[in-house]
Amino acid sequence: MKRRQFLRLIAAGAVAGAASAGCSIEDRAHRAVLRGRVVSAGKPLAKVIVSNGREVTQTDADGRYELPSGPDVGPFVFVSCPRGHWTDRFYRPVNEALRTGTADFTLRPVPQTDRFDFVFAADLSNLGHDIQAAGRAKTKASIVEICALSPKPAFLLIQGDLGIMGDGGTRFLDLLKTSTVPVRTGIGNHEIRPERDNPKDLYERILGPTYYSFDWGPVHFVVLDGNKPAAIPGKSVGTVEPREMAWLEADLAAQPPDKPLIVGVHIPIVSTYPARRTDLKEAEGPFWQSANTEKLTALFARHRVRLVLQGHIHENERIVRDGVEYVESVSLCGRWWKSGSGFERATDGSPRGYRIVSVDGAAIRHRYQSSCESRVDRQGEFMGLPKTMTPKQKTSFVFNCYDAPNGSTARARLDDGPWADLSPVILPDSRMPKPHHWKWTVDTTKLSPGRHTIEAHVTWPDGTEVRNTESFQLGQRSDDSKSL
């Protein structure tokens, strides 16, 4: 007897027993079967994935499904919207499904092509905090900007730290109403409230499941939770816990082997941040990178996941591991909206922004985009380069190539002089090297007074070249020659 048939028989007997014994909903939840139907435009949809948060099943020819309930399942039953169909209400609380006896899903047909763009954003910060009024205006401006991109994005995925604390939940929902494209969200560490009986209740009451999946065009998307509540409000350990891991393995196993897969998560699965933060204690590492990195990277490599989009660190970092690209994408809030209404930078010095991902069949590309008042038309800059400087024997130039992947190389030259290789740098206001900052120290006392140019040339591992040229005015040499 197949396991699914066995579960159906056990569940059917449990339902009959519960009815005869007058058991409560909580008792029935340990024994009942979750049933429902998936339709779109009034027609049943077959072979659609539905999950109880641990196991997955597919609808039959009449669009119907059955799933076991019990203490090991999640708080929601949810549908993985198939290609060409969509709904904002893709989930039902398990308790509601048990009370009503069904969890049906009504989808709508949505045109989807093999070629499309979508936008990934993360880290909106606290939209409910009074001191971040400017941040709320900037967030809204960015949503309007994203919806006006050309080509228009198919959807927007906002992955964690959504700013829903306090009255931020109401503000966030109002913000979503300004979007003219579909929006999906994921949970971040700031949505975790360990003082509550259910630390994820804040997110779940407003936005539903903390992990789920859906299709758009030829791609299957997985949105992960990856947060294990810690004892401090707003803190969580990066961990895909057992129930979520079981669901993830089942969801990936249900996909055709040639289907492109993209994963979103808040706390990074792969990052060099903990290694770069030399002041971190070993126990603090999982606050910044998943504790199940090895298991997840092996799983993603086995299923040939194409791209993993990550947030949390408020910086850009791009790493390829076992053929899978892991991308920390810069925060939409920069450094937590510290600049007020002015130009906003993230912790790596890059202007605040988001990531545009372009899909063309099996081909997937992406790029960082600075946003609104912080938008620039370049891919990097010499940080803090003054318009006028005094010659020094040791003048340091630092180039930030905003989205250069790890493994990139950089060189620079003054005027038409020889090229010099650059080395990674720890900035004066930073505790660690950044992934895409390089330093060059030169003797500018040997240069004549007047206008000079400095050019950077960065080569990415895939051969992409980024060039940037800026100018400065060199004054007369002073008697002392202190470094900048």
The arithmetic mean of pLDDT across residues 323-341, rounded, is 94
Question: What is the per-residue burial (b if ≥16 Cβ within 10 Å, else e) of 433-449?
Answer: bbbbbbbbbbebeebee
pLDDT of residue 247: 98
Q: In this structure, is residue 26 part of a structural domain?
A: yes
In this model, does residue 382 exceed pLDDT 60? yes
pLDDT of residue 428: 64
The arithmetic mean of pLDDT across residues 314-321, rounded, is 97
Q: In this structure, is residue 192 part of a structural domain?
A: yes
Position 178: which residue type?
T
Q: In this structure, is residue 479 part of a structural domain?
A: no
- Of 161, 136, 117, nearest in space to 330 by CA: 161
pTM for the whole structure: 0.91
In this model, does residue 30 exceed pLDDT 80? no
Is residue 142 domain-shared with residue 278, that is, in the same domain? yes
pLDDT of residue 481: 45
In this model, does residue 27 exceed pLDDT 60? no
In whole angstroms, give the CA distance from residue 107 to residue 97. 18
Confidence of residue 429 (pLDDT cuts 50, 70, 90): low
List the domain range (segments joined by +) for residue 264. 115-374
pLDDT of residue 234: 61
- Of 168, 219, 210, nearest in space to 188 by CA: 210
Among 59, 92, 108, identify where a domain stops: 108
Q: In this structure, is residue 83 part of a structural domain?
A: yes
In this model, does residue 18 exceed pLDDT 60? no
The arithmetic mean of pLDDT across residues 251-260, rounded, is 97
Is residue 13 domain-shared with residue 68, that is, in the same domain? yes
In this model, does residue 270 exceed pLDDT 80? yes
Is residue 290 domain-shared with residue 167, that is, in the same domain? yes
Is residue 355 domain-shared with residue 426, that is, in the same domain? no
Is residue 187 domain-shared with residue 265, that is, in the same domain? yes
CATH code at position 63: 2.60.40
Peptide bond into 111 cis (omega under 30): no
Q: In this structure, is residue 322 part of a structural domain?
A: yes
Is residue 218 domain-shared with residue 304, that is, in the same domain? yes
Is residue 216 domain-shared with residue 336, that is, in the same domain? yes
CATH code at position 433: 2.60.40.650
Find the farthest-apart pair of alpha carbons in the chain and give their distance in angstroms, rounded: 97
The arithmetic mean of pLDDT across residues 46-63, rounded, is 98
- Chain segment 120-141, per-residue pLDDT in tens: 999 998 777 777 788 899 999 9
- Chain segment 64-82, per-residue pLDDT in tens: 999 999 999 999 999 999 9
The pLDDT mean for the chain works out to 90
Please name every residue paired with 348 in a beta bridge, in sequence order, or none if there are none: none
CATH code at position 144: 3.60.21.10
Indicate the number of domains in the chain.
Answer: 3
pLDDT of residue 308: 98
Is residue 205 domain-shared with residue 308, that is, in the same domain? yes
Is residue 66 domain-shared with residue 174, that is, in the same domain? no
Q: In this structure, is residue 482 part of a structural domain?
A: no
Q: In this structure, is residue 235 part of a structural domain?
A: yes
Q: In this structure, is residue 480 part of a structural domain?
A: no
Percent of the chain at pLDDT above 70? 91
In this model, does residue 17 exceed pLDDT 70? no
The arithmetic mean of pLDDT across residues 446-450, rounded, is 95
Is residue 346 domain-shared with residue 445, that is, in the same domain? no
Is residue 61 domain-shared with residue 148, that is, in the same domain? no
Confidence of residue 15 (pLDDT cuts 50, 70, 90): very low
Is residue 262 domain-shared with residue 390, that is, in the same domain? no
Among 355, 374, 393, identify where a domain stops: 374
Among 80, 108, 136, identify where a domain stops: 108
